[in-house]
Structure 1
Amino acid sequence: MSTTETQIILGLHSSLAAIINKKRKIKKIVCTEEVYRKNKELFDSFKKIEKKIQNRKKIDLLTGEKFHQGIAVYCENLPKRTISDIGNEENLIIFLDSLNDPQNVGSIIRTAHAFGVETIIYSKHNSFEINPLLIKSASGAFERVKLIEVTNLNKTLNFFKKNNFWIIGLDNNSNTEIQTVPSDLKKVVILGSENKGIKKLLLENCDFRVKIQIKKSKFVDSLNVSNAAAITLFELRKK
């Protein structure tokens, strides 16, 4: 997807974050009278952006969605980011291996931002689509966290290993708990798909295979990946 294609952002927090993001080129704002009234000062400060007032049903029809919260922002995609955009001070990176659910990914982006993670890397193949649901689920954090698409996660992982990062993979079959990971390391955390977990080759590349200790039952034997991400980042950041 090129950066000049139009992207639609839905949801209040996500839309406002996009509007104030200087890296975004906003084309049009469509919102209800109520949303416009509450954010009039901000909206009116962008003189060159087209603004249209519509009722919720009309926005439903325009966007094909009902979760817009009374606002839709039409804009260009953010510029593509690469590994070279990662800051030297960054010491915790997230890898997403074969995650497909946009709502889960959006929640992970939101959680990552809350814990100070600035970069998430994912594979070009067999991964999620960046769509309005994902962006809304990130609740504004989509504008703050760098999403970097790569063609080969294993090669990218080796790049980080050569740059003194230690690789941590979440693995339900591990006997090592996440609390045992030393705090004074630069880290890459790999999150795998809920169905299959982390791919074998990536798992073999891990320096630590860790699990989150939970009380398993016949109804629950694992955590949702976004919940697992939140617990993992909490444990790694609290040290």
Structure 2
Amino acid sequence: MSNEFIYGFHAVKTVLQTRPHDVKQLLTLTNRHDQRVTELTKIADTFHIPCAELSKIKLQELLGDVNHQGIVARCKPLAPWSEKELMHCVENTPKVLLLVLDGVQDPHNLGACLRSANAFGVHAVIAPKDHSASITDVVKKVACGAAEQTPFVAVSNLNRTLKQLKEANVWLVGFDSEATVALNEVDLKGNIAIVMGGEGEGLRRLTRETCDYLANIPMLGSVESLNVSVATGVALYEAQKQRGNA
């Protein structure tokens, strides 16, 4: 079975705490024995996970030119949720909160969206398989552990999945800078899927037409729009605020 490499202190600590039996080896930078590294090696020892030190050059050969912070976990890949698992979650979760990303292609944006999704209690993140960023080492690093905890569902036909969600009584709230309804005017307390568009083009036509509501985030300054990851955080905060959780 292939391996994946998770790096960075937050991401590695999360995988050690939530999926220790999937971690095959903990790699650290040679001669780095500070408090943060020691904490993680102690967790690894608890679960009898082998530890090894590698030079800076060897880590770069293994991972490429990334900011690994001198800590890497070699793991069994985490399988994404299937569409069947998604619908099971929807049918069995009161007031389900989902995040749909329609064509987010920048891995840094995907990682930031996953981090916000985890912070605001999203039950699953949904994205199309094609023309979208997938879960990579970079995404996991940016997500700071959220990619290891928040279910991610890559679907083959996003429009079909959105229609299935509607049939399951989930309301689709899409975000469009040209919408005439403000975010805080939409009821986000029930079964809700927040639908965000990709960088630049925003929501695709079919996605926009499938949404039950289109809302905007009121802008008071001179800029016309927010980065998708920032807008996602604002939207999810508003949802939890309406639910009495923020």
TM-score between the two structures when normalised by the length of structure 2: 0.89
For residues 108 and 61 of structure 1, the distance between their equivalents in structure 2, rounded to whole angstroms, comes to 29
Decide which moves more: 24-33 or 116-125: 24-33
What whole-Å deviation, never above 9, does each CA across 1:112-134 have from its counterpart, x for those lacking one?
A: 11111120011011010321110
Deviation string, structure 1 residues 155-202 (Cα, Å, up to 9, x no partner)? 000111011111100001111100011143211111111211101011
Asked if the contact 1:36–1:43 (Cα under 8 Å) also holds between the matched residues in 2, the reply is no
Work out whether residues 23 and 78 of structure 1, in 8 Å CA contact, stay in contact via their aligned partners in 2. no
Instruction: Work out whether residues 24 and 77 of structure 1, in 8 Å CA contact, stay in contact via their aligned partners in 2.
Output: no
Cα deviation for residue 216 of structure 1 reads 4.7
State the TM-score, normalizing by the size of structure 1: 0.91
- Equivalent residue letter for 1:41: K
Moved more, 187-196 or 59-68: 59-68
Unaligned runs of 5+ in 2: none
Superposed counterparts of 1:69-218, under 5 Å: 69-86=69-86, 87=89, 88-89=92-93, 91-217=96-222
- 1:227 counterpart letter in structure 2: V
Q: State how far apart, in whole Å, the 1-side matches of 2:20 and 2:123 are.
A: 16
Is 1:43 aligned with 2:44?
yes
Separation in 2 of the partners of 1:113 and 1:189? 14
Q: Does 1:30 align with 2:35?
A: no
Partner residue of 2:18?
21
Provide the rounded CA distance (Å) in 1 between the counterparts of 2:84 and 2:219: 38
User: CA deviation digits over 1:8-64, x for unaligned, max 9?
Assistant: 1111110111123238622221113325423332121122x3321134444233311
Structure number with the higher helix fraction is 2
Aligned partner of residue 9 in structure 1, secondary structure: strand
Q: Secondary structure at the match of 2:199?
A: coil
Quickly say closer, same or farther: Cα 1:24–1:181, change in 2 above 3 A.
farther
> Which residue pairs with 1:234 in the alignment?
237
Q: Which residue of 1 aligns with 2:64?
A: 64
Q: Percent identity?
A: 30
Give per-residue Cα distances to partners, 1:84-137, cap 9 Å, x unaligned: 324322511111111111111111111111111120011011010321110011
Q: Secondary structure at the match of 1:39?
A: helix
Q: 1:11 to 1:173 in 2, by over 3 A?
A: same
Gaps in structure 1 of 5+ consecutive residues: none
**Number of equivalenced pairs:** 233
Q: Which runs of 4+ in 1 moved over 3 A?
A: 55-58
Between the aligned partners of 1:37 and 1:129, the Cα distance in structure 2 is 32
Q: Report the secondary structure of 1:238's partner residue.
A: helix
Aligned residue for 2:165, secondary structure, equals helix
Tell me whether 56-65 or 227-236 shows the greater mean CA deviation.
Answer: 56-65
Instruction: Give me the CA root mean square deviation.
Output: 1.7
Separation in structure 2 between the aligned mates of residue 227 and residue 184 of structure 1, nearest angstrom = 21
